[in-house]
Amino acid sequence: MVNKAKKQGTTYETNIVNRLNKEVDFKAQRFAEGGSKDLGDIQLFVKNEEYFLEAKSRQNLNIHQSLEKAIEKSGDKNTVLFWKKLKRKQGNSRRTNDGMPEVVSMSYDLFIKLLNNK
């Protein structure tokens, strides 16, 4: 049986893939667990450009360290970190969004590259 955290991560990754695939010229797919050769959670092609996405759905996250680790894993500057911050609300057994439903983080270099390729 799959543990709760793994199931939650798979559900979040699938949600991201489904939303991205609704966009014109986007082709996203989840990566299989790669062990030491893991490049990230999701592979995204936008026109001729490849991106690697790491998805985190949790209460706390050091976003700086997580983004750096994701870039090291993929070996590519076209790496983006998705974070869905969850928190337990009083009287609710399930965790729900805390503030913005999700944030997307990237390096400064990728940010400038995307702005210049508009």
47: alpha, beta or left, given left = phi > 0 and alpha = psi -120 to 50? Answer: left
Q: Considering its fold, how many domains does the chain have in total? A: 1
Segments forming the whole domain that contains residue 57: 4-116
DSSP 39: -
Q: Residue 91 is encoded by which pair of tokens? A: 């009287």
pLDDT tens-digit series, residues 13-61: 999 999 999 999 999 999 987 666 789 999 999 998 999 999 998 888 9
Q: Is the pLDDT of residue 92 over 70?
A: no
Distance (Å, whole) CA 54 – CA 109: 17
Distance (Å, whole) CA 42 – CA 29: 6
Predicted model pTM: 0.84
